[in-house]
Amino acid sequence: TAAAAAPRSSLSPPEFEMRLHVINRQKLVKSLQQHLADSNRPIQGIVLLQGGEEQNRYCTDHTELFRQESYFAYLFGVREPSFYGAVDVATGKSILFAPRLPAEYAVWLGQIKPISHFTERYKVDMVCYVDEMEEVLHSLYKGEDKSLLFLLHGLNTDSGNFSKPADFKGIENFKTDLSTLHPVLTECRVLKSKMELDIIQYANDISSEAHVEVMRNTNVGMKEYQLESLFLHHTYMYGGCRHCSYTCICATGDNSSVLHYGHAAAPNDRTFMDGDMALLDMGAEYYFYGSDITCSFPVNGKFTADQRLIYNAVLDAHNSVIAAMKPGVNWINMHKLAEKVILEALKKGNIITGDIQDMMALRLGAVFMPHGLGHLLGIDTHDPGGYPKGLERPKEPGLSSLRTARELKEDMVITVEPGCYFISALLIPAMESSETSRFFNADAIKRFVDFGGVRIESDVYVTSTGCKNMTNVPRETWEIEAVMAGAKWPIEKGLNHSQNGIANLHS
């Protein structure tokens, strides 16, 4: 059949292991106990989180596909809506509260699962119904006075929104603490366990493979959304990934300078043309954990000299940062390193001119790369914890876009995604400014008016002595050209680029 001829995958979806969440809960309990002890508070109280609810589209009965709230997913791994979850800080005992479903559910939505199903599936100590929650929580609490609940309330530093603390009938009979849980739980999410790393690695593996598949099937005259469709299909069909980490950005030509292209008002609908660059920022999510990968390449499979120049500037930045990453390194310095490498390459290419230190001092890097170098990655694409209390967001152009300004720590997963874009809204003011106009070679810049931009993004985890790139896609220009011409990926070892079965790659 046709499917048999379609591209296959070397991967298959791994089983979910609920032990991952047991470990996550243990980590939280340990951290909370430590935190309470450090502040001379009694080791008592119950963490209570409310899971997500299914949402209808506006006033209709169109149900949006439910995706669990991320903090709840982290602690409990529950895929169903309308649950609550509790963890006793003193004992670590975990309880899920399931909604009591009406009898019609069995006809319309599926078998009504007994309590034992959830206890077994989610590896918690106990499961009760939501309508029993008040009573159960009171009986669980062993402290003095009113029972104490730690609720989740705190700022998401990317969105500016606050997480919504659990609410239920009877909560007024508890003492509630809104400030302790959020920073502690957020910090737990920042450092990934071995089991979390394994899933992020799988999401990277299937997404990397899908990027290669897309590259190979890109042809002049296609629509941008066809690349999105190829990616989604590969990661779902062969990888079991029903959700994407974020809306696919499939930008070609000038669109590639629109950093968050692909949304409803700019919906990946351009027909791309010979000579265009493509910038594809796409990552699959598997079992809550995401990936976030960007590949940039010429849609016709051959880099022009200008494309090679910009591409290699960004690749050098990407590689330089990864070579420097290790625990203790400050992310602002990595951002500046990327800027510097890019500016040096642009200078070497006669696109800009002058002293690199002067450029850096005037934040010229932010004209070409207005976004941050990268962000924490996990259950959210922009995983929380980038600015813990006391760490201020930088104010300078470019740096102010950084989603974290932290020092790297072992077991962080962070994206490395330098880019170089020709964005009129930024370039024109910079070229007209008396402070920075001297740096630009206006004639050269003209060649790039419709160029768009290049971004190269990998997901990297920090080890005790350095880091490891979890993403595996063609990065060197010759690798990209070879794969687009039909070479296998990874390219066979021992062959150099002129021996890879592809004749005259550089002809």
Instruction: State in angstroms the smallest separation of the CB of 96 from a copy of itself.
Output: 14
- Decide whether 261 or 303 has the Cβ nearer to a copy of itself: 261
**How far is residue 294's CA from residue 313's CA, in Å, rounded to a whole number?**
15
Half-sphere CA count of 255, side-chain side, radius 13 A: 26
- Decide whether 268 or 471 has the Cβ nearer to Mn ion: 471
Among 176, 404, 415, 472, binds Mn ion (CB under 5 A): 415
Report the partner that residue 415 touches, choosing among Mn ion, a copy of itself, none (CB closer than 5 to 8 A by kind). Mn ion
Instruction: State in angstroms the smallest separation of the CB of 227 from a copy of itself.
Output: 10
- Decide whether 141 or 238 has the Cβ nearer to a copy of itself: 238
Q: What residue is closest to Mn ion based on CB? A: 292
Helix, strand, coil fractions of the chain, as percent rounded to 5? 35, 15, 50
Instruction: State in angstroms the smallest separation of the CB of 278 from Mn ion.
Output: 17
Helices (H) and strands (E) in the chain, counts: 16, 16
Instruction: State in angstroms the smallest separation of the CB of 410 from a copy of itself.
Output: 25
> If binding means CB under 5 A, how many residues of this protein chain bind Mn ion?
2
Cβ-based burial of 225 (10 A; exposed 0-12, middle 13-18, buried ≥19): middle
Of the candidates 214, 206, 193, the one whose C-alpha atom is nearest the C-alpha of residue 242 is: 206
Task: Give the strand pairing for 467-469 and 458-462.
Answer: antiparallel
Cβ-based burial of 58 (10 A; exposed 0-12, middle 13-18, buried ≥19): exposed
Report the partner that residue 292 touches, choosing among a copy of itself, Mn ion, none (CB closer than 5 to 8 A by kind). Mn ion
Listed ranges 66-74, 106-114, 285-293, 398-406: which one lies at the site for Mn ion (CB under 5 A) = 285-293
**How far is residue 122's CA from residue 19's CA, in Å, rounded to a whole number?**
9
Residues in CB range of 365: below 8 A, 6 or more apart:
336, 338, 339, 340, 342, 343, 359, 398
Of the candidates 346, 357, 353, the one whose C-alpha atom is nearest the C-alpha of residue 454 is: 346
**How far is residue 473's CA from residue 82's CA, in Å, rounded to a whole number?**
39
Instruction: Assess contact for 422 and 255: CB atoms under 8 A.
Output: no
Backbone angles phi, psi at 86, to 5 degrees: -130, 150
Listed ranges 152-160, 227-235, 310-318, 415-423: which one lies at the site for Mn ion (CB under 5 A) = 415-423
C-alpha distance across the termini of the chain, in Å? 38
Report the partner that residue 232 touches, choosing among Mn ion, a copy of itself, none (CB closer than 5 to 8 A by kind). a copy of itself
Instruction: State in angstroms the smallest separation of the CB of 38 from a copy of itself.
Output: 27
- Decide whether 45 or 370 has the Cβ nearer to Mn ion: 370
Task: Give the strand pairing for 413-416 and 148-151.
Answer: unpaired
- Three-class SS of residue 300? coil
Residue 380 in the binding site for Mn ion (CB under 5 A): no
Instruction: State in angstroms the smallest separation of the CB of 77 from a copy of itself.
Output: 13
Among 69, 88, 224, 292, binds Mn ion (CB under 5 A): 292
- Decide whether 70 or 415 has the Cβ nearer to Mn ion: 415
- Decide whether 296 or 381 has the Cβ nearer to a copy of itself: 381
- Decide whether 78 or 249 has the Cβ nearer to Mn ion: 249
Instruction: State in angstroms the smallest separation of the CB of 222 from a copy of itself.
Output: 9
390: left (phi over 0), alpha (psi -120 to 50) or beta: left
**How far is residue 230's CA from residue 211's CA, in Å, rounded to a whole number?**
9
Report the partner that residue 130 touches, choosing among a copy of itself, Mn ion, none (CB closer than 5 to 8 A by kind). none
Listed ranges 236-244, 295-303, 308-316, 407-415: which one lies at the site for Mn ion (CB under 5 A) = 407-415
Listed ranges 5-13, 217-225, 289-297, 331-339: which one lies at the site for Mn ion (CB under 5 A) = 289-297
Instruction: State in angstroms the smallest separation of the CB of 419 from Mn ion.
Output: 10
- Decide whether 98 or 278 has the Cβ nearer to Mn ion: 278
- Decide whether 79 or 393 has the Cβ nearer to a copy of itself: 79
Listed ranges 198-206, 229-237, 312-320, 412-420: which one lies at the site for Mn ion (CB under 5 A) = 412-420
- Decide whether 141 or 202 has the Cβ nearer to a copy of itself: 202
**How far is residue 41's CA from residue 457's CA, in Å, rounded to a whole number?**
44
Instruction: State in angstroms the smallest separation of the CB of 141 from a copy of itself.
Output: 27
Buried b (16+ CB within 10 A) or exposed e, 364-394: bbbbbbbbbbbbbbbbbbbbbbbbeeeeeee
Instruction: State in angstroms the smallest separation of the CB of 103 from a copy of itself.
Output: 7
State which of positions 304-333 bind Mn ion (CB under 5 A): none
- Decide whether 319 or 415 has the Cβ nearer to Mn ion: 415
Instruction: State in angstroms the smallest separation of the CB of 418 from Mn ion.
Output: 11
Applying CB under 5 A, the residues found at the interface with Mn ion are: 292, 415
